[in-house]
């Protein structure tokens, strides 16, 4: 395949799937600007290996795996540990029907450790099976199950409505 045709094929793929990759990246990191950086880095990696990717059956799965691995590698780097995002609210692109619930869910998702967050995104947003998520994460299915279980327990505990106190103070 000629380089020009390969480049056109790559450009068409990125144009059609870039938005989806950006949404997955946002769910992983909780910040639209950082999601853009993750997608850009992943797209660069895809471009470098594009001539060999032609034999891949599931191109979206391959791209998602590159994105998740890029996110997890960034989480392990010393550079990431020096950056602190405390107190920052996540960016909102559009107003969902229940904004408070969506923001609570995003905060709770952002509070999860990176591998648990990646597991939740792969299992429940990307709708992968346990085995598919294990393949993307490079771990055992049992590990995916335990990460999912811990993540869901944490999300439930953070999202349970707190009872409103009915006690009144008299002055």
CB 24 within 8 A of CB 121: yes
Per-10-residue mean pLDDT, the chain, length 171: 83 93 92 93 93 83 93 79 52 57 79 91 90 92 94 86 63 53
Angstrom distances, CA of residue 71 to CA of 15, 18, 25, 134, 145: 21, 16, 8, 16, 20
CA distance 51 to 67: 18
For 97-161, CATH number? 1.10.10.10
Burial string for 1-10 (b: 16+ CB within 10 Å, else e) reads eeeeeeeeeb
Q: What is the pLDDT of residue 37?
A: 94
Report the topology of domain 1-83: Rna Polymerase Sigma Factor; Chain: A (1.10.1740)
19 SS3 class:
helix
For the chain, the structural domain boundaries read 1-83, 97-161
Q: Which residue has the tokens 């990431």?
A: 80
**The model's pTM:** 0.62
CA distance 161 to 163: 6
Half-sphere exposure of 165 (CA within 13 A, CB side): 3
Write phi, then psi, for 37 (nearest 5 degrees): -65, -45
């Amino acid at each position: 395949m000629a380089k020009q045709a390969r480049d056109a094929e790559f450009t068409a793929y990125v144009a059609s799937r870039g938005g989806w990759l950006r949404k997955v990246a946002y769910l992983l990191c909780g910040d639209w600007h950082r999601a853009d950086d993750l997608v850009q880095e992943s797209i660069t990696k895809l471009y470098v290996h594009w001539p060999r990717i032609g034999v891949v059956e599931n191109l979206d799965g391959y791209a998602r795996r590159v994105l998740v691995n890029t996110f997890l590698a960034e989480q392990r780097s010393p550079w990431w540990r020096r950056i602190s995002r405390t107190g920052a609210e996540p960016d909102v692109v559009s107003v969902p029907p229940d904004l408070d619930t969506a923001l609570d869910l995003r905060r709770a998702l952002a509070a999860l450790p990176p591998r648990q967050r990646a597991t939740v995104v792969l299992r429940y947003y990307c709708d992968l099976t346990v085995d598919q998520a294990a393949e993307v994460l490079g771990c055992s299915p049992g590990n995916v199950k335990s990460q999912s279980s811990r993540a869901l327990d944490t999300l439930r505990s953070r999202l349970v409505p707190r009872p409103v106190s009915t006690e009144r103070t008299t002055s």
